[in-house]
Amino acid sequence: MEMDMLWNGGLTLFLGLLGFVLRNYINELQRVQILLNRTREEIAKEYVTKQEVHHDINRIIDRLERLDEKLDRIMETRK
């Protein structure tokens, strides 16, 4: 009878410890998943779309072309 009590006590202690460790791992996994989702949302806010990049590049190219035209006019007047 005493051996049965020791065996039950040992199994209970082992299963309790195992349950505690598994619960901590599950909670940590949920926390990491939440952080990953937040990170994905934040990254999406920081990047620009291809259309925005093309629009900005086109504006820069237009400015450069205007500067080129002005420089050409200045060079022609000096000749």
Q: Is the pLDDT of residue 46 over 80?
A: no
Q: Is the pLDDT of residue 54 over 90?
A: yes
Q: Are residues 52 and 28 in the same domain?
A: no
Q: Are residues 56 and 35 in the same domain?
A: no
Q: Are residues 40 and 61 in the same domain?
A: no
What pLDDT is recorded for position 41?
Answer: 81
Q: Are residues 27 and 60 in the same domain?
A: no
CA dist 74 to 7, 64, 65, Å? 99, 15, 14
- Average pLDDT, stretch 47-67? 94
Domain count, the chain: 2
Dist. CA 39–CA 58, nearest whole Å: 31
Highest mean pLDDT among 6-10, 16-20, 38-42: 16-20
Q: Which domain holds residue 14?
A: 1-45
With left for phi above 0 and alpha for psi between -120 and 50, is residue 47 left, alpha or beta?
A: beta
Q: Is the pLDDT of residue 45 over 80?
A: no
